[in-house]
Structure 1
Amino acid sequence: MKRRIVFTGGGSAGHVTVNLALIPHFIKLGWEVAYIGSVTGIERELVANHPDVRYIGISSGKLRRYFDWRNMSDPLRVLKGIWQAFRFLGKWKPDVIFSKGGFVSVPVVFGGWLNRLPVVIHESDLTPGLANKLAVPFSNKVCVTFPDSLSKVPRSKGIHVGAVVREELKQGRKEAGLAYCSFTTKKPVLLVMGGSLGARRINEAVRRTLPNLLEHFSIVHICGKNQVDETIQVTGYKQFEYVQEELPDLLAMADLVVSRAGSNAIYEFLALQKPMLLIPLSREASRGDQILNAQSFERQGLCHVLLEEELTDDRFYQALNDLQTNRESILQRMREENEKKTDALAQVMAILQETARSK
């Protein structure tokens, strides 16, 4: 009988990318793979590229830390999601569940625990998110990306594995990226991306400083859903809502990157040796995890950081000039750091297989 694994995680691409890195390897090993996500979340779209994966959409609610009238109804959606996940898991009986976090993962982890199924969680950020905090008591193992994160999870469950980076990102071709954007090699390429949901303040800063930036860079701008500005049509500037298949080529041609500071993304830039200007989500808009991620990388000399509260046109433009000036020293630190890295993907796969065997 084939072994079975269920993946879960969603709400943003950051809660899906590690799953996407692991799924092809389990399929290659002959495992049956299912993915439990939300009915309309981005995870459904991303997993659709894997026809061998069975997708199950469940009800989910957002776990907000602030007052919102939807906090009254969302617990009912979570309860419905728990029932849906419990029922599917009880019938399908996977050997192990792997959770990447996000609100949709909580009902899945709890449904797995009710079915006495082993659960492995992966936490990318330096501090666990609320969904993972709720899920940890019902898990067997918690894999973390940052060594310092081990102090924030139960000692008996925590395992430091490092960052899981998608193999396909390493296969990009610079020439293909230049052709896709109609760029030449006359100027360095600046890649701007704010995550799958976009980053409005970064988008606005780029567009306001665009004339000055274009004097020094060709710019590819991944804006986020519904954030492309069709009124801007200038040579050397390409906009996209979101890219998937072309992303490895765009990364291959990029000389510098501007990004939020989600852990998956910044570790991917590190693995690909892309000097980055990080503009983390502010504490007003988040729990501050991206600020901690960015500060950790900055202390190691792996990036420059510009806080959103300090984001003005002048500071943004100056920060990019400083990044370009210090590009070679950052690249050297990245090379040194990459030499220390272990194979996180292989470690997580081994943990999942061992956990499945102990079921």
Structure 2
Amino acid sequence: MSKYKIIMTGGGSAGHVTPNIAIMPLLKSKGFEIKYIGSKNGIEKEIIGKTDIPYYSISSGKLRRYFDLKNFSDPFKVIKGVFDSMRILRKEKPDIIFSKGGFVSVPVVMAAHFKGIPVVSHESDMTPGLANKLAAPFCSKLCVTFPESLKYIKDNKGIITGTPIRKELYDGNAERGRKFCGFTDNRPVLLVVGGSLGSKFLNDTIRAVVNDVIKHMNVVHICGKGNIDKSLNGLKGYKQFEYVSAEMADIFKMADYIISRAGANSIFEILALKKPNILIPLSRNASRGDQILNSKSFEKAGYSIVIEEEELTKEKLMSAIDNLKNNKSSYIEAMEKSEYGNGSEKIVNVIIESMKCKKM
């Protein structure tokens, strides 16, 4: 019988779900029974559905920093989400809540506060996202990845833990990856990851150069749901997927180089695996600029080449790929010196300490 019960939450993108999955095995080993609260139609429902974790759906409204007519209706969805969450918490009686952020987490965190249940949240990016900013007053502790993040967190709630890395990422098999992608030669592999929701701009730029790239290497392109280009199906040396889950460790192991957005979860996985990489952060026009800060930190440390979206051209991308190939060993050497590690153990310790403080 489990000693404790934890409810986890977070969603809207895979980056708000996979870190939760990363710490689940450790939580189970410490005696936790785990349940999950997410939205009715978010990607978190699909991802958690592939695990053995019971899932509850609640009403949720998206939190926007820009004008949209839905900004007038979505607050009512959030309020309904609070009442949905309170009913679930009343039934489950968890010892603690762990939130990875995303808009679905806000009503859960608020409901937990109203019911006197401690909450630990985690922020992957250098500056807190809107969901974590709104949730922070209701949290016991807010775990962060970057030391620079502490200055944004009030009331001494911030604690540096790093970000959790899925253990299975270290267990990939390159040959399985090649077989999964249908690559029959041993040429270097370039993995392109546009985020779980995809990026049309990044996808289009990659596809504009793919015929030149596949002259020298194989390309695996994870392009996001609904973003498959059927005209490129069957192109030798190029394999595209909407989203990859179970086989991702094999693809990571197989990859020699990576092109990625610069969400914190993604780049810390790349760092943990010591893969030379090009980061193309979301522009400030499409985000709050967190990916730009993340990528600049990695560029300064010598881990990555960074191309900002506004400067991305076919020529610049091809030049960066050549740079990556020619200086592969120097990027690996810099990453091997990194002090960043897997934050799973530290986060679980914060969860346990927060429960103890509540019971005192």
TM range, normalised to the smaller chain?
over 0.9
CA distance in 2, matches of 1:131, 1:76: 16
Deviation at 1:28, TM superposition (A): 3.5
Instruction: Report the number of matched residues.
Output: 356
- Deviation readout 1:22-61 (Å, 9 max, x if unpaired): 122223333221101000100011111222x221100111
CA distance in 2, matches of 1:228, 1:115: 45
Given that 2:165 and 2:342 are in contact with CA atoms closer than 8 Å, whether structure 1 keeps it comes out as: no
Q: How does 1:278-357 map to 2 (within 5 A)?
A: 278-337=279-338, 340-357=339-356
* Structure 2 counterpart of 1:111: 111
- Aligned to 2:170, what secondary structure does the other structure show? helix
- Deviation readout 1:178-203 (Å, 9 max, x if unpaired): 11112145321000011100111111
* Structure 2 counterpart of 1:45: 46
CA distance in 2, matches of 1:184, 1:301: 33
* Structure 2 counterpart of 1:139: 139
- Aligned to 2:337, what secondary structure does the other structure show? helix
* Structure 2 counterpart of 1:82: 82
* Structure 1 counterpart of 2:6: 5
Given that 2:272 and 2:341 are in contact with CA atoms closer than 8 Å, whether structure 1 keeps it comes out as: no
The one-letter code matched in structure 2 to 1:111 is A
- Aligned to 1:44, what secondary structure does the other structure show? helix
* Structure 1 counterpart of 2:276: 275
Alignment RMSD (CA, Å): 1.2
Deviation at 1:155, TM superposition (A): 5.1
Deviation at 1:231, TM superposition (A): 1.2
After the TM superposition, which parts of structure 1 deviate over 6 Å for at least 4 consecutive aligned residues? none
- Deviation readout 1:312-356 (Å, 9 max, x if unpaired): 11111111111111211000001111xx34542111111111212
CA distance in 1, matches of 2:116, 2:202: 45
The question of 1:358 aligning with 2:345 is answered: no
Percentage of pairs with the same residue = 50
Deviation at 1:86, TM superposition (A): 1.4
Deviation at 1:153, TM superposition (A): 0.6
- Aligned to 2:231, what secondary structure does the other structure show? coil
CA distance in 2, matches of 1:208, 1:156: 48
CA distance in 1, matches of 2:309, 2:196: 18
* Structure 2 counterpart of 1:31: 32
* Structure 1 counterpart of 2:122: 122
CA distance in 1, matches of 2:195, 2:149: 23
* Structure 2 counterpart of 1:154: 154
* Structure 2 counterpart of 1:95: 95
Unaligned runs of 5+ in 1: none
Deviation at 1:216, TM superposition (A): 1.5
Deviation at 1:208, TM superposition (A): 1.0
* Structure 1 counterpart of 2:240: 239
| TM-score for both structures, normalised by structure 1 | 0.97
The question of 1:198 aligning with 2:204 is answered: no
Indicate the larger mover: 151-160 or 283-292.
Answer: 151-160
- Aligned to 1:56, what secondary structure does the other structure show? strand
